[in-house]
Structure 1
Amino acid sequence: MPRYSIIIPCYCDGLLAVEAIESCLSQTYEADEIIFVDDGSPDDSYKVVVQKFSEIDTVKCYRIEN
């Protein structure tokens, strides 16, 4: 089977990002990695995602400061 990564960009909508990541995790064919990138959101989007998925190895979280 082919290997693939999923990239989920986010700006000010952590709850939608959580839903997107949960949807990716529930698929029949698992991604090798799910990369969440917060683009400098002034809200707590990054914190919400990290708290929810910190124990799942395939979910990588990054934050870019603007």
Structure 2
Amino acid sequence: MIAGTFPPTVRTPDVIVVSLDRVLERPTKFHAQDVVLAVEVLSPGSQRADNIVKRAERAEAGVPAY
């Protein structure tokens, strides 16, 4: 992760959507601010974390859609 980016860590979602420009620029590494859409597949064991904790983390990181 690049120094000064926010937040320093974010859990990896099941699926992400990023712009083609970002893919062409850095095809193997994306930062939270690169993500346009983050998708989580809910399961009974992770539903609370996915809906509350991860949603808050992604909102703080600036992901516009989760």
Give the structure-1-normalised TM-score: 0.38
Richer in helix (by share): 2
Richer in strand (by share): 1
CA radius of gyration, larger in: 2
Give the structure-2-normalised TM-score: 0.38
